[in-house]
Chain A
Amino acid sequence: MTERIHDEVERVKAAGASAPKPGRDPVNQPMINNWVEALGDTNPIYVDDAAARAAGHDGIVAPPAMIQVWTMGGLHGQRNTDDPLGLMLRLFDDAGYTSIVATNCEQTYHRYLHPGEQVSMHTTLEDVVGPKQTGLGEGWFVTTRNVWTVGDEPVAEMLFRVLKFAPRPASPDRSAVLRPIVGHDNAFFWEGTAAGELRVQHCPTCGRLRHPPGPMCPSCGADKQDWVVAAGRGTVFSYVVHHHPPVPGKQLPFVVALVELEEGVRMLGELIDVDPATVHVGMSVQLALTKIDDELTLPFWRPAS
């Protein structure tokens, strides 16, 4: 995918500037009037001929910041087929970078425009950088340069940069989950989840199964314990639906179930792939061991299939 993006970027760059796109109307007073009114700009040189001449102009001038206005496409405007920005947006939409945010807009004005002047604009693709990991998600910075001309004379330019990005998935970063402390008495459990097993402590002396585990059997006092592998099936003994406050590594709302295993012990786990409204005491669930990263595999549960 990245290679296809680079190829297309090079092709568009090599094609150079798009064909000049003429503005729909020449620079005109009614549009200036609307614009200064909307922005509350009271500078008289945009509306009063005498004031403009007193300021050294040859009559009324257009506000420089209106430069984009003169070549806008109108309500139903279409980008020209050779517009580099349009080509880039389509490229990244197709590649899954479906969201956009403008990050830079730097305009340079070479001279004032006067009513009656016909403005055109052409665009070149300056640069494309990516993929970058951003706060919004992975994306590409696309930089274009617009040049406005009257005849052959450049009158204004704009460097414009957007971030085309793939929005972060709605689920949070599960690796942010709070980590268990691992020590002598519980290492077998967490080694088990990493190995794909749900291990339950077993007393080799009296046969008691126990969760959470500990270093000494409360039934017979034996201090040497081993474990058995649970089948990974159980029922919901109780549960909660957590709405507030946020919990690291979890997406609100989420369900935590106290699962009674077939083997007879109880164990807490997040219940996933379920509509919280359908969870009930007695519901059959099955283990869904989920690797968070190389150091942690968590026992999640899901409705039994």
Chain B
Amino acid sequence: MSAIADKAAIVGIGATEFSKDSGRSELRLAAEAVRAALNDAGLAPADVDGLVTFSMDNNTEVAVARELGIPSLEFFSRIQYGGGAACATVQQAAMAVATGIADVVVCYRAFNERSGYRYGQVSSALASAPTSSGIDAGWSYPMGLGTPAAQVAMIAQRYMHVYGATSEDFGRVSVVDRKHAATNPNAFFYGKPITLAEHQSSRWIVEPLHLLDCCQESDGGVAIVVTSVERARDLPNPPVIIRAAAQGSGSDQFVMTSYYRDALTGLPEMGIVGEQLWSQAGLAPEDVDVAVLYDHFTPFVLIQLEELGFCPRGEARHFIADGALEIGGRLPLNPHGGQLGEAYIHGMNGIAEGVRQVRGAAVNQVEDVAHVLVTAGTGVPTSGLILGAA
């Protein structure tokens, strides 16, 4: 057991609507999401003494604190590496609470990622940054590899070659996400399930990835309120205990382009996260009732299942083939629809879904949920959580 396992709890979640054009500032989205999360927690802005977000978020902690009228902050922190930060923001909060550095910490992420700056396009700013990241980008962007889809496709192609996985195997992830989104009124793709045939006939983005292997782009914000387990007992929602929280980065790690390791068929950084999660919580993959796995691109959902120990390497396509990921299956995946179906809020909407599943309050509720596994962005240094009931 680690020093932070079972010390902190998620007591509030909040979000804006998920759209393609919010029509308002990113700061307003952040402020709305944080206020909604505090309302859900039964807390006031004056109770907050810590804020955590992504280094990619455009809203500073002080700006958010100003808008909310938070009188003072004693802890603020940011996590690097894009969507890999999602669960690590909650880890930061849990560490701050467990050590007594902070009492109530809100994690937030808000952006106009569809109507404003789109991550799916080529980032010329990153490629020209005079930093170690800019130097790294110089080994891929000038060669034409410059979008997240392309960066993932390179590993997906190798994975297919080595293990015999097919585009249809990837498509099954998309189909199950969209099936779940279809019955989630908050999902952008509410009421719009897809078939495997539609996945197969969708246009190429970067072979071997079809359009329907790639998650949507979204505007919106999500916030998560973390406090101590003791304080959580006095708040209105059933506490959702942070059973484990971990970050991971692997050998010879790059951001999205870790192509120089021995194999190109895994996500070792997620394996490192997984080992810590199981160890902290004293749990094993078979104890997980719901998996909220980061799904910006379908192939990495299969590889995550392998890295996290749900199945042996190369066998995820068999693991998922018989409806295992559907509600009622062996391992219900992304009951909210994931980022492919609900919204792309850089993984934070997945944490909120994990909270709802533990509370028993999700729109697509899985029965008798004791433990939910949530993961953050893949292909980058990443993070994960195990959430459980008190």
A154 at the interface (CB under 8 A from B): no
Near B by CB (< 8 A), chain A positions 241-271 give 241-250, 253-254, 256, 258, 265-270
A243-B135 in contact (CB<8A): no
CB-defined contacts of A250 to chain B, threshold 8 Å: 144
A245-B122 in contact (CB<8A): yes
A212-B260 in contact (CB<8A): yes
Which partner residue on chain A sits nearest B257 by CB separation? Answer: A268
Assembly CA distance A248 to B122 (angstroms): 8
A270-B143 in contact (CB<8A): yes
B147-A245 in contact (CB<8A): yes
Which partner residue on chain B sits nearest A251 by CB separation? Answer: B144
B204-A241 in contact (CB<8A): yes
Which partner residue on chain B sits nearest A276 by CB separation? Answer: B207
B145-A256 in contact (CB<8A): yes
A240-B138 in contact (CB<8A): no
Q: Contact string, B199-233, partner A, CB cutoff 8 A, digits 1/0? A: 00001111110000000000000000000000000
Q: A281-B161, A298-B142 are in contact. Are A247 and B136 (CB under 8 A)?
A: no
A179 at the interface (CB under 8 A from B): yes
- Stretch touching chain B among A57-65, A140-148, A180-188: A180-188
- Total B residues in contact with A, Cβ cutoff 8 Å: 40
CB-defined contacts of B142 to chain A, threshold 8 Å: 177-180, 296, 298
CB-defined contacts of A177 to chain B, threshold 8 Å: 142, 144
Q: Which of A179, A185, A238 has the most CB of B within 10 A?
A: A238
A245-B120 in contact (CB<8A): yes
Assembly CA distance A237 to B139 (angstroms): 16
A248-B153 in contact (CB<8A): no
CB-defined contacts of B134 to chain A, threshold 8 Å: 181
Cβ 8 A contact of A183, one of B127, B135, B137, B147: B135
B207-A247 in contact (CB<8A): no
A241-B127 in contact (CB<8A): no
Near A by CB (< 8 A), chain B positions 122-175 give 122, 124, 127-130, 134-147, 150, 153-155, 157-158, 161
Q: Contact string, A191-230, partner B, CB cutoff 8 A, digits 1/0? A: 0000000000000000000011000001000000000000
B204-A243 in contact (CB<8A): yes
B206-A244 in contact (CB<8A): yes
Secondary structure at chain A's binding surface: helix, strand, loop or mixed? loop
B145-A268 in contact (CB<8A): yes
Near A by CB (< 8 A), chain B positions 70-108 give none
Closest approach, in angstroms, between the C-beta of B122 and any C-beta of chain A?
A: 5
Which partner residue on chain B sits nearest A182 by CB separation? Answer: B138
Closest approach, in angstroms, between the C-beta of A216 and any C-beta of chain B?
A: 12
B157-A240 in contact (CB<8A): yes
Which partner residue on chain A sits nearest B145 by CB separation? Answer: A256
B143-A298 in contact (CB<8A): yes
**Number of cross-chain contacts by CB at 8 Å:** 122
Q: A179-B128, A239-B154, A247-B144 are in contact. Are A185 and B135 (CB under 8 A)?
A: yes
A243-B260 in contact (CB<8A): no
CB-defined contacts of A246 to chain B, threshold 8 Å: 122
CB-defined contacts of A244 to chain B, threshold 8 Å: 203-206
B122-A242 in contact (CB<8A): no
Q: A177-B142, A181-B135 are in contact. Are A240 and B127 (CB under 8 A)?
A: no
A247-B147 in contact (CB<8A): yes
Assembly CA distance A299 to B144 (angstroms): 12
CB-defined contacts of A182 to chain B, threshold 8 Å: 138
Which partner residue on chain B sits nearest A300 by CB separation? Answer: B143
CB-defined contacts of B147 to chain A, threshold 8 Å: 242, 245, 247
CB-defined contacts of A267 to chain B, threshold 8 Å: 139
Which partner residue on chain B sits nearest A245 by CB separation? Answer: B121
Which partner residue on chain B sits nearest A268 by CB separation? Answer: B143
Closest approach, in angstroms, between the C-beta of B142 and any C-beta of chain A?
A: 5
B158-A238 in contact (CB<8A): yes
Cβ 8 A contact of B128, one of A178, A253, A268: A178
Which partner residue on chain A sits nearest B207 by CB separation? Answer: A241
B255 at the interface (CB under 8 A from A): no
B139-A268 in contact (CB<8A): yes
CB-defined contacts of B154 to chain A, threshold 8 Å: 238-240, 256, 258
Which partner residue on chain A sits nearest B265 by CB separation? Answer: A238
Q: Contact string, A83-121, partner B, CB cutoff 8 A, digits 1/0? A: 000000000000000000000000000000000000000
Q: A245-B120, A266-B259, A281-B158 are in contact. Are A240 and B128 (CB under 8 A)?
A: no
Closest approach, in angstroms, between the C-beta of B205 and any C-beta of chain A?
A: 5
B366 at the interface (CB under 8 A from A): no
CB-defined contacts of B203 to chain A, threshold 8 Å: 243-244
Assembly CA distance A182 to B137 (angstroms): 11
A181-B129 in contact (CB<8A): yes
Assembly CA distance A243 to B150 (angstroms): 9
Closest approach, in angstroms, between the C-beta of B256 and any C-beta of chain A?
A: 12
Assembly CA distance A299 to B140 (angstroms): 11
Cβ 8 A contact of B259, one of A218, A258, A296, A299: A258
CB-defined contacts of A239 to chain B, threshold 8 Å: 154, 157
A254-B144 in contact (CB<8A): yes
Which partner residue on chain B sits nearest A238 by CB separation? Answer: B158
CB-defined contacts of B260 to chain A, threshold 8 Å: 211-212, 265-266
A181-B128 in contact (CB<8A): yes
B129-A242 in contact (CB<8A): no
Closest approach, in angstroms, between the C-beta of B154 and any C-beta of chain A?
A: 5
Assembly CA distance A179 to B207 (angstroms): 24
CB-defined contacts of B144 to chain A, threshold 8 Å: 177, 242, 247, 249-250, 254, 256, 270
Q: A238-B158, A243-B206, A266-B260 are in contact. Are A178 and B127 (CB under 8 A)?
A: yes
Q: Which of A181, A265, A298 has the most CB of B within 10 A?
A: A181
Closest approach, in angstroms, between the C-beta of A234 and any C-beta of chain B?
A: 14
Assembly CA distance A210 to B189 (angstroms): 45
CB-defined contacts of B389 to chain A, threshold 8 Å: none
Interchain residue pairs with CB less than 8 A apart (13):
A178-B122, A178-B124, A179-B138, A180-B135, A180-B138, A180-B142, A181-B127, A238-B264, A245-B122, A256-B144, A256-B154, A258-B259, A268-B259
Closest 10 CB pairs of A and B: A180-B138, A241-B207, A238-B158, A240-B153, A178-B141, A243-B204, A178-B127, A181-B134, A281-B161, A268-B143
Query: Which residues of A are interface residues toward B (Cβ below 8 A)?
Result: 177-183, 185-186, 211-212, 218, 237-250, 253-254, 256, 258, 265-270, 276, 281, 296, 298-299
